[in-house]
Structure 1
Amino acid sequence: MTSSVDKEMDVHDGGPATVTLVDESTWRGRALVPVLIFIGLLIAMISSLGAPLVPTIAGDYGIALGTAQWTLTIALLVGAISVPMVGRLADGPRRLHILVAVLVAMTLGSMLAGLPVNVFPLLLLGRALQGVGLSLLPLVMGIARDHLPPARARSTMATLSVTTVVGVGLGYPMTGVIADNVSFRYAFWLAAALGAIAIALALLVVPTSKHHPVERFDLVGAALLTSGLGTLLLAISMGEDWGWTSTRILGLAAAAAVALASWTWHQLRANAPLVDLRLMRDPVVAISNLSGLFAGVGMYMLMSMVIRFVQTPTSTGYGLGESVLVGSLVLIPLSLMSYFSSKVSAILSRRMAPAYVLCLGMLAFTTALLFFINERSSLWQILVVMGLGGLGIGCSFAVMPRMIVGAVPAAQTGSALAMNQVLRQVGYSVGSALSATVLTAHTTGASPFPTDDGFTVGAWVAVGLCVATALGIVAAQLIERTTNVDVDPLLVEESADAAIAGVIGFEPDEAPATGSAR
């Protein structure tokens, strides 16, 4: 029988490594793209099991809404930490093993989260394991780039970026339907079943990556990053309960500062760092990454607050009292408009400086926040808020890779874009924790729900982040270097295609090519 990976070619000048292209005349070769897309949809579905279920979990487990928010925050935190770790491990010859291991962890996490027992730490553990799966999309995009012909690889990676939006758009209402009609735990069991199918398909179809050399893994950097981000988010989340000036909070803040400072020092000196922070010396790269961080914080603050607001009972005097299903549906405009505006931003970037497009994105997101501050008494107003938010987020996230690609040499684009993704994921987890902290600070008396002012204060905090981002963008534009950089137009297009998914997991010189080596 003809092997599905029997076509090999040397793509490294004088190097022993080879890239294996799948043979699309075999069933394994034909099945590779559908399997990768299936995994992409599964990742999107897992990511949609967070925000809409927070109020339901709080009610079922008898815990505060701020505590229940950790079911979203911990998945985002683990995802942020896992992205560079999984990416580094998958760069070597055991990429298939890493893919299967992460799918197994995600499946076990879904099973733990779906257990019919009200043990909140068990649910948190399950959500943490699911969070590992949020790091998979760069890996499957790397598989497509390595094992498909160039034209097929480009179209597959563009499709994978779209599946993130499509999968989330399907996952939100599906989660709502399941939670409203049976139990939210069935959504986790569905994810577990789909995860088991993904494991079997990956083992059958995905080629190995033996052509990649063994990469050194930065254990010290991984430990410092995990401890630093973990203690920082714990301090943000528990500050209101323990007291912002309490010994525990101050100790956690000091520990986080020491760990993150040590991580930064270590990354700047490591031979094989998890994240190449040296690229931050370029002002455009620095501002693009800080914009990604702040935009991620603002996005998850708005999304988390809107979900809680929509599901808050009308007896509080301000909530809309809607079901989990409706709370899930209001997120669809955010997803759809994010995808639409990412395409519009690609057109705008050809007519004006990308920094100005990023400013437009921040303006649109600020408009959404201001609209939410002043008009949120009806469901249609919430839909407008989310649509405007999607315009801003999609435009901003799509143009950041363009700014980075235009500011760094071609050989450094993979590392620079990966760093942007990591900081964006960190922003997501901080935004989730910060929204819970602000709303908890405005929860008084016997009611488990915050006052209406809490949502207003949270939105103003996000507005402040948007303004700070816009000012930073202007500063970067003023000091931008005029040095001409060798920019690959194809890479720029791929960057924009993948930006809406928030992932770039490949180096520009890894693409298989027919003919002579590059």
Structure 2
Amino acid sequence: MNASTTPETHPSGTDKRGDTNMVAALVFIALVVAAIGSLGAPLITSVAEDYDVSLSTAQWTLTITLLTGAVATPLLGRLGAAHRRRKVVLSTLTVVALGSVATVVPAPFVVLLLGRAAQGIGLGLTALMMATARQHLRDRAEGTIAMLSVASTVGIGVGYPIASLLVQVWGVRAAYLLGVVVAVAALITAVVALPADSTAAPAKESVDWWGASLLSVGLVAVLVVTSQSSWWSSRPMVVVSVLLGGAAVLAVWVAVERKVAHPLVDLTALRHPAVAGANLIMFVSGIAMYLLFTLITRFVQTPPAVGYGYGLNEVEAGLVLVPFSALGFVAGRVVPKARHKVSPFGLLIANGVVIALACVLFATVRDMGVAWPIAIMGLLGFGVGGFSAVMPQVILAVTPSEETAAAMSVNQVVRSVGFSIGSAASGVILAAHTMTGTFSPTNSGYSTAAWTACALALLTIVLAAAINASRTNRHPSP
């Protein structure tokens, strides 16, 4: 039975059991697309060996997923209006499932890339899950949206240990088979649990395809160079040129969006101080979060013969991510409950402090036993989870309900760009501390990178404090 048409209803229009089922379905779908999107990370080395390509080429199995996700997210946010959201979600999950099948079949490397690109489109679904929760789960919408935001972030660690185990036992295609199973499960879940589309369609509607094209080109230019960290040292002029070109295209996109009748992204809404501030904080904190995340995963796999590191294999390194995901979900449940006592920007400050503390600990005590990096990863997960849970509160508090998907899709893109830059920054800093003729960076390189992440985390604290103070002065307590 459709969750939105059950017999006994409360003010939101659904019964409690229907609400619970819908919450579980929405969070499950968000988890699946996040896990599939990150599935390439633990498989890069195995892909290079199985397909006889270089590591830099195999890296594209992750890069292309991030690229298509960044491009698809704002477009799905605009297409997924209430009168066709279910259709868009089901169509997207079908594409993800077909892409997952393409990653498993014996075929040339280009087919694997196409499959990974199709899987990346699913990363744009989280914003639609949030819009569905806001429309159909009135009394539980806020908590559900917080969990969806957390799922889309900490979900990157869910499939890592399982995929690593599968690739060690049965090979890379067995690991990608995991994506097929969960993608099909998500599609079935969506068919059963998602409410029917609204029958009230706008009288006249058009999609800003020109704006979508410009945004896609600009984002691809930025994300390509930030995701390929090796280019920063080997091809610096290419990096600068592409970044400048991407920035120019995005500037043209802004000009276009301000003139069209039905823009892909409502830039007027983004100018609201709370929304603009939240997106700026998300961007800076995203760099800090992913910088430290990649540092820890790389450090624990470094062989002790180098003079540091713990030599963990892929499965063991995947298990290090379990505390990250577990404490991220804990934070997603706990932190939003403090909103009645602390302002959203105050909660961002608190979680910024947690992330900064994780950076300081990694910079100072990472060599004192493998338990320390694991504990630091858990602390980072709590900070990231809390950050992700609060962010929708800040944005949706000043966003009309019908603009939920579009507003949150922009925030998802900002987060993705921040994560990508954080990953690239990690590679660049460590490469700068790698001596000629050696494979591993010096231990001091990790300290430099960790303190850089800490400085960025402190910057997010300052930004959140400044915005919080400004809002308090503008709306003083009676």
C-alpha change, 1:150 and 1:48, in structure 2 (3 Å) is same
Match of 1:430 in 2: 421
Match of 2:213 in 1: 223
Match of 2:465 in 1: 474
How far does the alpha carbon of each residue in 1:141-169 deviate from its partner, in whole angstroms, 9 at most, with x for none? 444555x5756877876776676689666
1:82: Cα distance to partner? 1.7
How far does the alpha carbon of each residue in 1:384-439 deviate from its partner, in whole angstroms, 9 at most, with x for none? 21122123222323333333455x36568735444333322322233233333434
Q: What is the alpha-carbon distance in structure 2 between the residues aligned to residue 351 and residue 24 of structure 1?
A: 27
Q: What is the alpha-carbon distance in structure 2 between the residues aligned to residue 265 and residue 250 of structure 1?
A: 23
AA partner of residue 240 (structure 1): W
Q: What is the alpha-carbon distance in structure 1 between the residues aligned to residue 143 and residue 396 of structure 2?
A: 20
Q: What is the alpha-carbon distance in structure 1 between the residues aligned to residue 378 and residue 113 of structure 2?
A: 31
**Is the deviation greater in 204-213 or in 159-168?**
159-168
AA partner of residue 221 (structure 1): G
Contact 1:311–1:322 under 8 Å retained in 2: yes
Larger proportion of helix = 2
Match of 1:136 in 2: 125
Q: What is the alpha-carbon distance in structure 2 between the residues aligned to residue 152 and residue 281 of structure 1?
A: 28
Matched, 1:83 2:73: yes
C-alpha change, 1:404 and 1:66, in structure 2 (3 Å) is same
Q: Which runs of 5+ in 2 are unaligned?
A: none
Aligned length: 466
Q: What is the alpha-carbon distance in structure 2 between the residues aligned to residue 460 and residue 395 of structure 1?
A: 21
1:181: Cα distance to partner? 1.6
The counterpart of 2:42, out of the listed 52, 67, 81, is 52
Matched, 1:297 2:284: no
Identity among equivalent pairs (%): 35
Matched, 1:183 2:175: no
Contact 1:176–1:324 under 8 Å retained in 2: yes
Q: What is the alpha-carbon distance in structure 2 between the residues aligned to residue 302 and residue 131 of structure 1?
A: 23
Q: What is the alpha-carbon distance in structure 2 between the residues aligned to residue 272 and residue 325 of structure 1?
A: 48
After superposition, where does 1:433-512 map in structure 2 within 5 Å? 433-480=424-471, 482=473
Match of 1:283 in 2: 273
Instruction: Give the TM-score of the pair, scaled to structure 1.
Output: 0.76
1:359: Cα distance to partner? 1.9
1:222: Cα distance to partner? 1.3
The counterpart of 2:387, out of the listed 396, 399, 407, is 396
C-alpha change, 1:127 and 1:280, in structure 2 (3 Å) is same
AA partner of residue 181 (structure 2): A
The counterpart of 2:232, out of the listed 224, 229, 240, is 240
Contact 2:288–2:457 under 8 Å retained in 1: yes
How far does the alpha carbon of each residue in 1:448-504 deviate from its partner, in whole angstroms, 9 at most, with x for none? 54443443333233223223222222332343375569xxxxxxxxxxxxxxxxxxx
C-alpha change, 1:373 and 1:235, in structure 2 (3 Å) is same
C-alpha change, 1:371 and 1:222, in structure 2 (3 Å) is same
Q: What is the alpha-carbon distance in structure 2 between the residues aligned to residue 418 and residue 162 of structure 1?
A: 14
How far does the alpha carbon of each residue in 1:331-355 deviate from its partner, in whole angstroms, 9 at most, with x for none? 1212222222334433443333433
Contact 1:104–1:199 under 8 Å retained in 2: yes
Q: What is the alpha-carbon distance in structure 1 between the residues aligned to residue 82 and residue 315 of structure 2?
A: 42
Q: What is the alpha-carbon distance in structure 2 between the residues aligned to residue 243 and residue 166 of structure 1?
A: 32
Match of 2:201 in 1: 213
Q: What is the alpha-carbon distance in structure 1 between the residues aligned to residue 373 and residue 59 of structure 2?
A: 20
Match of 2:332 in 1: 342
C-alpha change, 1:297 and 1:455, in structure 2 (3 Å) is same
1:258: Cα distance to partner? 0.8
C-alpha change, 1:456 and 1:283, in structure 2 (3 Å) is same
